[in-house]
Chains A and B, each alone.
Chain A
């Protein structure tokens, strides 16, 4: 466990100083401010509009950041040969995968929570919303970011920097529409398409299943069984992706 935490600590310290992260954070703050200006001049409850725009923006930017920072961190570690130095100190390669995930999850998770805190402050400047559902939405966004980190870690083991970013981005987009893809397939007459969409439905991580943003602020709280379902699914999917990444990494020859 000490080895895993040491890798996590190194990853955390390195990623925390990544300039991309601060650039995106600055962009998001600007976006939130722009959203509040826009919302204040439109009809309806300003605070809810800011909340909707803000949560959506945080989700998209956090996922983009998770993809770029995760893949860049893994690739740079390999190119700089730091990976070799780390692996000779570990008894098994899965420790590296878990350590990397924890380190990145801490950095990006912290960033998501910071952005959510900023959003909450902004929302409460314009009015009040149901705080518990807002908190649940923020936590589900955090879970979604962790899920994307796990997907990025899997693709970083199998392909080059550019391809890994592209594939993770595709999964991120498709993962938001798995139910739509499934329903589209079921309505089709072609059996091959039905099979293909079914495979996609079960194979792709269902990001929509961990999305609690749609009713955030509008309802007092989400149903407890839905929360259990969302978080159980999220953690099982992360565990599955990490096991798969560790298995592929274990088999790889490093050149």
Chain B
């Protein structure tokens, strides 16, 4: 699978102070790759540089250093408008316009044909469940409803690359589920998704890839399982009985089914051999312990900070 977006050594500093201007680094040689057709979570604590990266990708800020390749082509200012669907963090748009008028305007800007606009808007309004507020002013919409409109505007032109800054914030559990489904569906149709979120359970359920940023530096880049699956703890389940002379600790899960938990690979192999050596026991599963993304994220940042 090829990379749709390749970011290399991206650096950004921002001015500090009022009278005497200094510069503070926000991004420090950030490099990562976003694979085509994959969903990637861009995570990090507050102030890690997530929004700054998005600002550079969208051409809202200029990088100090580094290179960006989109589909193999160098990006000088911003990603190609036709291919990009972007939603900034907590937008609230024009308060006097209705979602329908806003989506019409932004749809036109994205090159959607005038005749196609009503059906596209209605489709997305139904998908994201805001069709009942389509013709009321944005000022009368709730935060969650505006967020849904924001997601719709980013997806309405069916972009190849979807860039969302905190798309799930301000949504109720039903809304979050709806957005997760819509995003998964877009990725299934071939779009590439990169989004930042502080709701890690949602990131875990949507994404295949994770990039963790800490203090403007990439702390982790890889598959979701690479981060959440530990090779330090293993669970082995079996049914039946072990030979009496085998001295190994196990716990009963249900009738005639047991679990052995081991702390390293050598113990794991030993436990497997013991089960296989017992004529009355049948090996059922061997699974590494999986931690939640949130646990893995906290551990990673704690380790990263202590270094």
Contacts and interface: CB of A to CB of B under 8 A. Distances in A.
A253 B109 contact: no
A7 B109 CA distance: 8
Interface string B57-85: 01111100000000000000011010010
A91 B81 CA distance: 7
A88 B58 contact: yes
B105 A10 contact: yes
Nearest to A79: B92
A84 B109 contact: no
Nearest to B108: A6
Nearest to B60: A254
Interface stretch (A13-21, A144-152, A186-194, A236-244): A13-21
Contacts of B58: 84, 87-88
B160 to A, nearest CB: 13
Interface residues of B, number: 34
A17 B109 contact: no
Contacts of A229: none
Contacts of B90: 81
Contacts of B214: none
Contact of A6 (B88, B94, B109): B109
A9 interface: yes
B110 A89 contact: yes
A88 B93 contact: no
Main secondary structure of the interface of A (DSSP, over half): helix
A224 interface: no
A82 B94 contact: yes
A84 B88 contact: yes
B140 interface: no
Interface residues of A, number: 26
Contact of B96 (A6, A18, A84): A18
Main secondary structure of the interface of B (DSSP, over half): loop
B22 interface: no
A215 interface: no
Interface string B96-118: 11000110011011110000000
B110 A82 contact: no
Nearest to A8: B105
B55 interface: yes
Contacts of A89: 81, 106, 109-110
A75 B86 CA distance: 20
B222 interface: no
A86 interface: yes
Contacts of A10: 94, 97, 102, 105-106
B91 interface: yes
Contact of A88 (B61, B81, B94, B96): B81
A17 B102 CA distance: 14
Contacts of A80: 91-95
Contacts of B106: 10, 85-86, 89
B92 A14 contact: no
Given A7-B109, A89-B106, A253-B61, A81 B81 contact: no
Contacts of B89: 81
A165 B60 CA distance: 25
B259 to A, nearest CB: 50
A221 interface: no
A10 to B, nearest CB: 4
Contacts of A254: 55, 60-61
Interface of A: 2-3, 6-7, 9-10, 13-14, 17-18, 76-77, 80-82, 84-91, 253-255
29 contacts: A2-B108, A2-B111, A3-B109, A6-B105, A13-B97, A14-B96, A17-B96, A17-B97, A76-B94, A80-B91, A81-B91, A82-B94, A84-B58, A84-B86, A85-B86, A85-B150, A85-B153, A85-B154, A86-B106, A87-B59, A88-B59, A88-B84, A88-B86, A89-B110, A90-B81, A253-B61, A253-B62, A254-B55, A254-B61
* Complex A-B, nearest 10 residue pairs according to Cβ-Cβ distance, in ascending order: A17-B96, A10-B105, A81-B88, A81-B91, A89-B109, A6-B108, A254-B60, A253-B61, A88-B86, A6-B109
Interface of B: 14, 55, 58-62, 78-79, 81, 84, 86-97, 101-102, 105-106, 108-111, 150, 153-154
Given A85-B154, A255-B55, 8 more contacts: A2-B111, A9-B108, A10-B102, A14-B97, A17-B96, A77-B94, A85-B88, A88-B86
